């Protein structure tokens, strides 16, 4: 029995290894609906022929492009040959052939396809040119990654590496709408980059490009009838530096910024997208996010100037502004004329009209708007927005098109004003709006911020490039299911698909855009394409490293946060720090990488110490971490680093005699845990805040010599967190009677960039067990800052005693 058991275990091990080896041959993203692995390979050689019916011109164009990539990257000279045989009689293709055959199998759908690979023949079948196009994207991912690199041909001597693993694939998408958005209003991107963006979308089987062309910070599309939209509206005089609240007062770069697309460039992009089977959805924002248009044509506002009594200006900072389009007949004429030109440029059925984040302040103050509300029998300004959207909806519908709007377009509807049935809702404020729209039988595109906003941080904000805020790691993107199970089938049928959004307030270069998009958009591609039952993050993570090599071949500056190691610290009983380094969410087989680290501020290399087990720090250092595979770096070098503070206070208990705020409470003695706070994003992790003074007593455990105290204070005056006006240090042996050793004045009115300011307080050496620290609150935010006169707070992140 024992021998049989051992034999069974050995067979299971062999089968597991064989399956792992087999599945490693198929690293396709998004994962196909059905894939049957087979033994063997089809070898692409100089004798390989590619056959296609030339009469099918769209298919011929797809195959010509496919052959071009193989020939250019592989140094081959494969020919494309004409066949006019039907799928029923084309099985007699010669040896070593790749044949493209039209199928009559309607179960494949318009975008589905079938690929059959043996050692002698590759057969590609589809019902339509869309299906063939997506089949070719899959073939690119079955071939070596170099097939995507058209700038570095491989010598003919390497032809033996050009293989396609044998398999059978039958595939079709889960959703009909698979979208990616790019905001070019906050920052402008060239036509060349737009084409690269479309190339990458196509490789991942996205089929809708949502082009955000207008906003408060810039109007980016030429409109012939209104030349000032680009003469004035496409230019802003300067741009805010950093996050909205990073500096107090705010800082601007003083550099004019602008750019727009001519109508010829728009047509060029639309034509190029069509070759990738991508529809372009233009967005013209209304009635809010209109400052760029108002700067060009101020008569479209409710007054001749903005609410701040100054002429309208293209916005130089981010956010939502009270000045919006006024719903006059002149405004509707303007917007209809704009949309007429837009419709002539974009042949797709969808026109996105925005509809989000429209403050009602200007409308409340406008006598015209108040009279219009009464005349139309509207309930309030929300009803006025519904009136506005419905007029635009009717106009777009009259032109044979359909509007898309953000989920706010549902607001304010009533018995007399209803959104037309063919209006599509894009749900961004969570999922509630989209699900409600589906229940009202409106088509819906799901793009909730918590899953689909790629301008959010993807790793530790303190170690990532500047982003909008929030945290959207790769596994969270992958976990999203756009169609919850509680929707009825008739309601679920209105969920058209999903879209990833890249808003560019803090993204001003193509490299940074790439970094924010990839690989999270690859995860979203699988959400949009792959059947829910086939989704598996561990399997996706297994395929991702190979996919990274494809992105590298395409010169994509993708994020390597996937490989980041995560440091954590735990105080020891003797006042030191126990440091643990762990990998993030990667394949469960543990094959991804090794961690190396440095403690001397140098950048980790393949020669740096390899992390084997937790190690102890007995002094303050910055730990730098990187992941490697056989000495080759996987993560971004020097990106992951963490400052740790070791002092006589490390791991010691303390008593807070003044209560922290509920929003930033103390968590398990976080002020002596040895871990410094991070400064990324809008929030600051690990700080404890107080409305009044700070009064804390540290217990060092036993009497010992002390001569300095250092406290990390958060300076974030835009959020009313100021430095203290005075700090008092006193010491005690019994914790009851304290003797003052220092009273120090500080610069409570200090402005500038937000930061953790570690203030040192030195005094004559003395022996003590207890140290009392009192930090005096300045009371009110000083004049000259963002919020003068508001209640000031104090916030701290770590006590240090030496």
> Is residue 283 flagged as an active site residue?
no
Return all residues near 16 (Cβ < 8 A) that are at least 6 apart.
Answer: none
Told to judge if 215 belongs to the known catalytic residues of this protein, a careful annotator would answer: yes
C-alpha neighbours within 13 Å on the C-beta side of residue 202: 27
3-state secondary structure of 425: strand
Catalytic one of 125, 171, 183, 215: 215
DSSP one-letter string for 455-492: TSBSS-GGGS---SSSB--HHHHHH--SS-TTS-HHHH
Residue matched to tokens 């007054």: 303
Tell me which of 322, 357, 578, 629 is the catalytic residue: 357
**Which member of 210, 289, 352, 456 is catalytic?**
289
Neighbours of 196 (CB within 10 A): 18
Long-range contacts of 493-496 (CB under 8 A, 24+ apart): 494/437, 494/438, 494/441, 494/442, 494/443, 494/444, 495/175, 495/434, 495/438, 495/444, 495/446, 496/175, 496/176, 496/177, 496/424, 496/443, 496/444, 496/445
Beta strands in 245-384 (DSSP E): 247-248, 257-258, 279-286, 350-354
d(CA 409, CA 426): 9
**DSSP sequence for 123-139:** EEEESSHHHHHHHHHHH
Are the C-beta atoms of residues 658 and 671 closer than 8 Å to each other?
no
Residue 243 a catalytic site member: no
Residue with the two structure tokens 């070019």: 184
CB atoms within 10 A of CB 175: 18
Element (H, E) at 208: strand 208-212
**CA nearest 752: which of 52, 251, 149?**
251
Q: 697 near 709, Cβ under 8 Å?
A: no
Q: Cα separation of 228 and 75, whole Å?
A: 51
Cα–Cα dist 93/305, whole Å: 73
Active site residues: 215, 289, 357
């Amino acid at each position: 029995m024992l021998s049989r058991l051992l034999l069974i275990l050995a067979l299971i091990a062999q089968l597991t290894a064989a399956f792992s080896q087999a599945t490693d041959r198929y690293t396709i993203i998004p994962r196909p609906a059905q894939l049957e692995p087979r033994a063997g390979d089809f070898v692409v050689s100089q004798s390989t022929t590619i056959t296609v019916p030339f009469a099918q011109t769209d298919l011929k164009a797809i195959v010509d492009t496919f052959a071009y990539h193989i020939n250019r990257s592989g140094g081959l000279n494969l020919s494309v040959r004409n066949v006019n045989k039907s799928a029923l009689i084309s099985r007699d293709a010669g040896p070593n052939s790749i044949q493209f055959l039209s199928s009559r199998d309607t179960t494949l759908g318009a975008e589905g396809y079938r690929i059959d690979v043996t050692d002698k023949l590759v057969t590609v079948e589809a019902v339509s040119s869309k299906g063939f196009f997506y089949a070719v994207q899959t073939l690119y991912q079955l071939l070596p990654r170099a097939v995507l690199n058209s700038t570095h041909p491989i010598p003919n001597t390497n032809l033996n590496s050009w293989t396609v693993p044998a398999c059978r694939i039958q595939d079709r998408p889960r959703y009909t709408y698979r979208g990616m958005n790019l905001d070019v209003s906050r920052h402008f991107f060239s036509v060349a980059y737009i084409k690269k963006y479309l190339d990458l979308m196509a490789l991942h089987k996205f089929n809708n490009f949502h082009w955000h062309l207008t906003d408060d910070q810039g109007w980016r599309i030429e409109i012939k009838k209104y030349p000032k939209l680009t003469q004035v509206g496409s230019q802003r005089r300067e741009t805010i530096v950093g996050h909205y609240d990073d500096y107090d007062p705010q800082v601007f770069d003083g550099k004019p910024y602008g750019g727009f697309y001519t109508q010829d460039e728009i047509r060029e992009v639309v034509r190029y997208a069509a070759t990738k089977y991508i529809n372009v959805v233009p967005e013209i924002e209304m009635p809010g996010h209109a400052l760029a248009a108002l700067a060009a044509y101020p008569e479209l506002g409710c007054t001749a100037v903005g609410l701040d009594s100054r002429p309208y200006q293209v916005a130089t900072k981010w956010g939502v502004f009270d000045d919006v389009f006024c719903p006059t007949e002149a405004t509707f004429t303007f917007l209809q004329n704009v949309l007429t030109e837009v419709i002539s440029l974009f042949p797709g059925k969808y026109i996105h009209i925005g509809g989000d984040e429209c403050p009602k302040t200007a409308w409340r103050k406008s006598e015209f708007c108040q009279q219009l509300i009464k005349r139309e029998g509207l309930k309030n300004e929300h009803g006025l927005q519904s009136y506005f959207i419905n007029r635009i909806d009717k106009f777009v519908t009259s032109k044979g098109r359909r509007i898309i709007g953000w989920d706010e377009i549902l607001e304010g509807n009533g018995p007399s004003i209803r959104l037309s049935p063919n209006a599509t809702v894009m749900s961004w404020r969570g999922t509630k709006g989209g699900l409600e729209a589906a229940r009202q039988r409106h088509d819906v595109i799901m793009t909730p911020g918590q899953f689909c906003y790629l301008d959010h941080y993807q790793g530790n904000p303190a170690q990532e490039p500047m982003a909008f805020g929030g945290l959207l790691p790769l596994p969270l993107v992958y976990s999203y299911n756009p169609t919850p199970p509680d929707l009825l089938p008739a309601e679920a049928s209105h969920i058209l698909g999903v879209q990833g959004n890249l808003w560019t307030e803090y993204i001003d270069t193509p490299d940074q855009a790439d970094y924010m998009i990839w690989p999270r958009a690859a995860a979203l591609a699988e959400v949009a394409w792959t059947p829910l039952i086939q989704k598996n993050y561990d399997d996706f993570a297994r395929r991702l490293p190979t996919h990274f090599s494809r992105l590298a071949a395409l010169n994509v500056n993708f994020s390597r946060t996937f490989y980041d190691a995560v440091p954590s610290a735990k105080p020891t009983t003797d006042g030191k720090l126990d440091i643990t380094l762990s990998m993030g969410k990667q394949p469960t087989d543990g094959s991804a990488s090794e961690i190396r680290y440095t403690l001397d501020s140098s950048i980790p290399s393949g020669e740096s110490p390899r992390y084997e087990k937790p190690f102890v720090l007995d002094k303050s250092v910055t730990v730098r971490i990187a992941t490697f595979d056989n000495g080759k770096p996987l993560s971004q070098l020097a990106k992951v680093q963490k400052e740790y503070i070791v002092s006589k206070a490390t791991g010691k208990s303390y008593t807070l005699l003044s209560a922290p705020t509920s929003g930033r409470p103390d968590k398990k003695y976080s002020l002596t845990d040895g871990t410094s706070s991070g400064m990324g994003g809008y929030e600051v992790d690990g700080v404890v805040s107080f409305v009044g003074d700070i009064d804390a007593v540290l217990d060092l455990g036993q009497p010992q010599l002390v001569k300095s105290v250092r406290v990390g204070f958060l300076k974030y005056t835009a959020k009313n967190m100021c430095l203290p006006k005075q700090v008092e240090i006193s010491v005690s042996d019994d914790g009851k009677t304290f003797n003052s050793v220092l009273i120090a004045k500080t610069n409570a009115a200090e402005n500038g960039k937000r930061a953790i300011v570690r203030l040192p307080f030195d005094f004559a050496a003395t022996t003590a067990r207890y140290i009392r620290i009192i930090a005096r609150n300045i009371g009110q935010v000083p004049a000259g800052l963002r919020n003068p006169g508001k209640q000031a707070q104090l916030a701290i992140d770590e006590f240090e005693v030496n």
